[in-house]
Amino acid sequence: MTDVPTLPDSTVLKLYRSDYLRRFADEKPKLRSTWLKLANNKTALLFTSESRSAAPQIFIIIATPMHVFGLFAPVPPGRTDAEVKRVLIRTLGSFEFSED
C-alpha cells in the first residue's frame, strides 16, 4: 500500500465522522466532538451522537498508519455521558499499537 497518500490523523478521523453523519442523515443526529490526547500518546476524536430514535452513543476513534480503531457504547439508562466516556477513554488509551 505504498501508493496510498498519507493523510494526517485528524483528516482521517474527520472523514470517519463525516461518513457516520452521511450514513445516519435520515435520523439527523446531533454530534458533539472533541479532540483528546490518550494515555498511550494517541490523539483521539471523541464524539457523542444523539437522535430522537435512540439513546445517546459515545464514539472514540484513533488512526494508525493502516487502520482506524474505535470503540463505542450507548449511554444506558441510569448512567451519564461522563461515566461512559471515562470507560472508553481509559480502555482505548490502554491499547498498545505496533507498526509491524
Distance separating alpha carbons of residues 68 and 1, to the nearest angstrom: 15
Segment of 3-17, 44-58, 71-85 carrying the highest mean pLDDT: 71-85
Q: Is residue 60 part of a domain?
A: yes
Q: Please state the length of the chain.
A: 100
pLDDT of 6 > 80? The answer is no
Q: Provide the residue type at 98 as one letter.
A: S
Q: Is residue 1 part of a domain?
A: no
Q: Is residue 55 part of a domain?
A: yes
Name the pLDDT band for 80 (thresholds 50, 70, 90): very high
Q: Is residue 87 part of a domain?
A: yes
pLDDT of 1 > 50? The answer is no
Q: How many domains does the chain have?
A: 1
Query: What share of the chain in percent tops pLDDT 70?
Result: 92
Q: Is residue 100 part of a domain?
A: no
Q: Is residue 52 part of a domain?
A: yes
- pTM of structure: 0.80
What residues make up the domain containing 83? 9-93
Q: Is residue 41 part of a domain?
A: yes
For 10-57, the DSSP string reads HHHHHHHHHHHHHHTGGG--EEEEEEEE-TTS-EEEEEEEEETTEEEE
